[in-house]
Amino acid sequence: MAKPKVLVTRRWPAAVEAQLSEKFDAVLNTNDVPLGETEIQDALKTYDAVLPTVTDKVSARALDVTKPQTKILANYGVGFSHIDMGRVADHGMTVTNTPDVLSECTADIAMTLLLMVARRASEGERELRAGNWSGWRPTHLVGTKVSGKTIGIVGFGRIGQEMARRAHHGFGMNVVVYNRSRVPEGVLAQYGATQVDTLDELMPLCDFVSLHCPGGTANRHLINTRRLNLMKPDAFLINTARGEVIDELALTRALWFETIGGAALDVFDGEPNINPELLDCDNLVMLPHLGSATREAREAMGFRVLDNLSDFFEGRTPRDRVN
């Protein structure tokens, strides 16, 4: 019996690619360039499974294919806002993702960002590398203490809870949660957390606001001018969720006029293109989407895709099916 034909849209860890090639008739993207819409259309006509990442815009236009060969989109990553789920449903395709395995590493990078922006670490490194450091002095790059402060967590899924664990148990922070559904009291108690009913209620309570909610149309520009104005003037915004969750123009204004203390971003709206106005904000820390960028997490994500593919082609419901 012929092996299912599978397209891997970007380079994956070598150990995962090896297993994919052994188990399936796999085609690898050896030049590691994201696919355009036309290339995605061609792939949907040719392969039994397509394995996209966040860099592949599986849009309605890309999915405008008559009787596609592809029966499953096994996404490499948790978020799937880059996939038009309505058009996928029209084709009867299955979509899976890779939850759980990157939660700890993404929370690690969120805490890294929080510490960097609070203690002005990026500003200090830029000064050192430019040869502009004149030595220690009492008023130099004075930042903000983190321990004991209040953190607001927007979206209390796996990653949000891992962030709460680091903040509360590692730094003694008070945790306030906004989530679209009620979080069980027993879960909140693990982190000494309090849940509020609205995002507007959360924003003014916190010294740090960390975003861990889904992206997509529903949450586009969830953080806008009005909500930024609700923050304390010395509070910090952290985003490791999706770039579109923040109105970046509104954020640049808040940073320029110092109506908030600062921000730290691992994700951007329209990445890898960066709004040039963000580059002029000294009180902003930026990382190139490193949330899951550890060997352990990236391999685990790939093997989770393999598990989902195996389930699907062996007639079982994939455990990470999202539609």
Structural domains in the chain, sorted by start: 5-101+295-313 (3.40.50.720), 103-286 (3.40.50.720)
C-alpha to C-alpha distance for 63 and 66, rounded to whole angstroms: 9
Q: Which residues pair with 25 in a beta bridge?
A: 5
Tokens read off for 128: 């050192």
For the chain, what is the radius of gyration of the CA atoms?
A: 21
Task: Please give the Cα distance from 131 to 110 (Å, whole number).
Answer: 29
**pLDDT (0 to 100) of residue 312:** 98
The pLDDT value recorded for residue 234 is 98
Residues 6+ apart with CB under 8 A from 210: 110, 114, 151, 152, 153, 154, 160, 163, 167, 238, 239, 240
How far is residue 283 from each of residues 56, 120, 290, 293, measured CA to CA in Å? 31, 8, 20, 24
What is the rounded distance in angstroms from the CA atom of residue 207 to the CA atom of residue 318?
Answer: 41
Ordered mean pLDDT values, 10 residues apiece, the chain (323 residues): 95 97 96 94 97 94 96 96 95 96 97 98 97 98 98 98 98 98 98 98 98 94 98 98 97 98 97 94 97 97 98 97 96
Cα 133 versus chain centre, distance: 34
Asked if 74 and 93 count as a contact pair (C-beta separation under 8 A), the reply is no
> Catalytic one among 87, 220, 289, 321?
289
pLDDT at 154 (0 to 100): 98
List the catalytic residue out of 39, 127, 271, 299. Answer: 271
Identify whether the C-beta of residue 206 lies closer than 8 Å to the C-beta of residue 114.
Answer: no
Of 212, 242, 298, 304, the catalytic one is: 242
DSSP labels for 194-233?
A: EE-S-HHHHGGG-SEEEE----SGGGTTSB-HHHHTTS-T
Ramachandran angles phi, psi of 201, nearest 5°: -70, -35
Q: Are 195 and 177 in contact, with CB atoms under 8 Å apart?
A: yes
Active site residue 169: no
Q: Is 162 a catalytic residue?
A: no
125 as an active site residue: the answer is no
